[in-house]
Structure 1
Amino acid sequence: MSKTRLAVLGLAALLMAGCGPVNPGAAAVVDGTRIPMSDVEDVADVYCTASLSGQSGSAAGIDSAALRRQSVADLVSGEVADQVAKDRGYDVTVPSLGSAEQAQLEQMFGDELPAALDLIERNQRTGVIAQEMAREADASIPEGEQLLQAGQQLLARATAEADISVDPRFGLDETIQQIAETGSLSVFGGELDATATEDRPAALQCS
């Protein structure tokens, strides 16, 4: 099982308070499909637990805003991939986890295990669809990492062509690339860029 990919991003001044969400209650909308803010929080909680596990339980240096930003990006990519699979009639099969992997995840996530399993399955599904896109585009691409990279490039292109709107407080553009450094979606301030992550308010840290 691939290790969970976590983006390590900096935290600076937040967007102006007047820049509210485009679709209230939605973190993003992909071709008319809403991604609820609650889904982003669920994914961010899983990434937070995985990050804490990697740092022996210390939240120092882990930025919850960065985790939320990564969560939005992953969910948007997953939704685009699902729509591609539906449009092209892909038969998507996600490989099952082994018993040892299940036990390791249960030990790591505890009560969050269902959310963690959902996230892993969703990310695996996105990867499978990306590889299928690459196979369809060029049957000569070897299986493995090269096929996955080619598929990710095609998925990024499909994302750029999709009709996407993202809550501007995440600091992501319609292709889910970072265009601004942001922080908490509920806390506004202008001096956070000069503050070490571990010294920031608890709401801005992974915990």
Structure 2
Amino acid sequence: MKKGLIALIVLGVIAVALYGWGVSFNNTAIELKEASTKTWANVESAYQRRNDLIGNLVKTVQGAADFERGTLKDVIEARSKATSISIDPSNISPEQLAEFNKVQGGLSGALKSLLVTVERYPDLKANKNFLELQSQLEGTENRINVARDRFNASVEPYNLHIKTFPNYILAGLFNFKELSYFQSEAGAEKAPDTSFDFK
């Protein structure tokens, strides 16, 4: 065999191997990123469920008790802010997550304040619809937490795939960027201070 032919065969084998590696890397990265995008959509879905329930909660509370209008107004405004923020799941940045987390935290705080306020209304606490909505909200908060955990779990394999050697070389060539994890808002590690005012 001629040396030129052997060199050509070796180059052909190397080219096929590099092509196979590139295709495998790209397809795996796309699959992992799509999984993260889907789990982010589930996070947003859980938040949307909460926003939908809040409308019903507000109507129930409005109809059953004439209490501090400021608290109700805070919940309505916080809900409006929470629904105004949207994130592109294919390009989630730490800044986007921080802003999303901030408005959702504001809504959580307003809801806690609303639920503490309605404790002063025995008729409302005994109202079957209100109790069901309160239970639904508690379940929704758990769903949100699970959805955020699943999102973080889906981000990890994608980030590992594009950050490990030699994959990070192709990640740069194919423009795959690291995704941000969902993090709790500042101060979330402290237990909330709940006080009941029965005046």
TM-score normalised by L of structure 1:
0.29
State the TM-score, normalizing by the size of structure 2. 0.30
Greater share of strand: 1
Instruction: Report 1 or 2 for greater relative contact order, CA contacts < 8 Å, sequence distance ≥ 6.
Output: 1
Of structures 1 and 2, the larger Rg is shown by 2
The answer to which structure has the higher helix fraction is: 2
